[in-house]
Amino acid sequence: MRAAPLPPGTLDDADRAILNALQDGLPICPHPFAEIAAALHLDEAELIARIARLREIGAVTRFGPFFDAEAMGGAFCLCAMAVPQDRFDAVVTLVNALPEVAHNYERAHRLNMWFVLATERPEGIDRAAARIERETGLRVLRFPKEREFFIGFRVAA
Amino acid sequence: MTIDAIDRRIIAATSGGLPLVSAPFAEVARWLGLEEDEVIARMAAMQDSGVIRRIALAPNHYALGLVANGMSVWDVADAQVDTLGARVGALDFVSHCYRRPRALPDWPYNLFAMLHGHSRDEVEARRTEVAALLGEACRGHDILYSTRILKKTGLRLTGEG
């Protein structure tokens, strides 16, 4: 994934309008792009071509349905560990080896390793956390989501 | 909601994205040997029930200049955390906002909010903004900046279930 800002001038006004409009969602109907294109005063084919380009240049990471894996029976849990600095690399290797570890970040804090466990069923979370505790000898703090506050985040393009 | 085997095939087929063609649901139907009407009806039902949050574009916020972020964490009075959490989650610079259990004595914080900005300074200014919003209901807070991505894999769903 592109981690650096795009060079100035990469996006024109129509690109920005597309980025802003399509964060809110596409209708589920036979010709959804035609509907959005009309609202943006663009041609359907031009809209589709511009979305493809935005994806190619890395302005867009994904275009499609966003699934709630919990609604499908899966489970997630944010976890944190305080890993001694001299063991950090070895612990990273042990933790990352578990397929249940979806992402893992080093953060500047006493609790310096933060990762998300994702499992097909809720029982898998405790099993994976217990395995990490056994293999590392370190405590895994578990922060399951109790409530989600949804979600105004929009990237103004 | 329970999803059946056909729903799972639709999920697996579109988890990499929706095809960029004039009739994308007809294209998905063609891949799976279904009718367009059925794909549309099933995806609409999954959206109504929350299995699909929305069909949308995810901008790369780094590419668009939002290069700084920090995981802010707040110790908010239990009686007020849900009301205030909803207000924090509605801010346009907050991506993930959740109530989570405390882990006392190590961890007093029960509200997590990922703050985004164009710079570290902007993230810090937004942290101050959230602190003002929470006011006296908040007994303490911190912000954790990431120093390294150690692993990042997308959620992979198989068609089987």
pLDDT in tens, B15-61: 889 999 999 999 999 999 999 999 999 999 999 999 999 999 989 88
Task: Assess if residue B56 is contained within a domain.
Answer: no
Residue B79 sits in the same domain as residue B114 = yes
> Which residues in chain B have their CB less than 8 angstroms from residue A28's CB?
25, 40, 43-44, 47, 55
A150: pLDDT strictly greater than 80: no
B161: pLDDT strictly greater than 50: no
Residue B80 sits in the same domain as residue B137 = yes
Q: Do B64 and A19 touch (CB under 8 A)?
A: yes
Omega of the bond prior to B19 within 30 degrees of 0, cis? no
Task: Assess if residue B156 is contained within a domain.
Answer: no
CATH (domain of B109): 3.30.70.3460
- How is residue A36 annotated by DSSP? H
What are B72-81's pLDDT values in tens digits?
999 999 999 9
- Give A1-65's CATH code, choosing from 3.90.1640.30, 1.10.10.10, 1.10.3720.10, 2.160.10.10: 1.10.10.10
When CB atoms are compared, the residue of A44, A48, A141 closest to B103 is A141
In percent, the amount of chain B with pLDDT more than 90 equals 77
Residue B41 sits in the same domain as residue B91 = no
Residue B74 sits in the same domain as residue B139 = yes
Fold classified for A69-143: Alpha-Beta Plaits (3.30.70)
Distance from CA of A27 to the nearest CA of B (A): 8
When CB atoms are compared, the residue of B57, B100, B145 closest to A145 is B100
What's the rounded Cα separation, in Å, for the pair A96 and A91? 8
Q: Do A71 and B61 touch (CB under 8 A)?
A: no
What are A37-74's pLDDT values in tens digits?
999 999 999 999 999 999 999 999 889 999 887 887 78
> Which residues in chain A have their CB less than 8 angstroms from residue B53's CB?
66-68
* Global pTM value: 0.83
Which pLDDT does position A157 carry in this prediction?
77
Q: Do B149 and A103 touch (CB under 8 A)?
A: yes
Domain that residue B9 falls in: 5-49
Q: How many domains does chain B have?
A: 2
Q: What is the ipTM of this complex?
A: 0.82
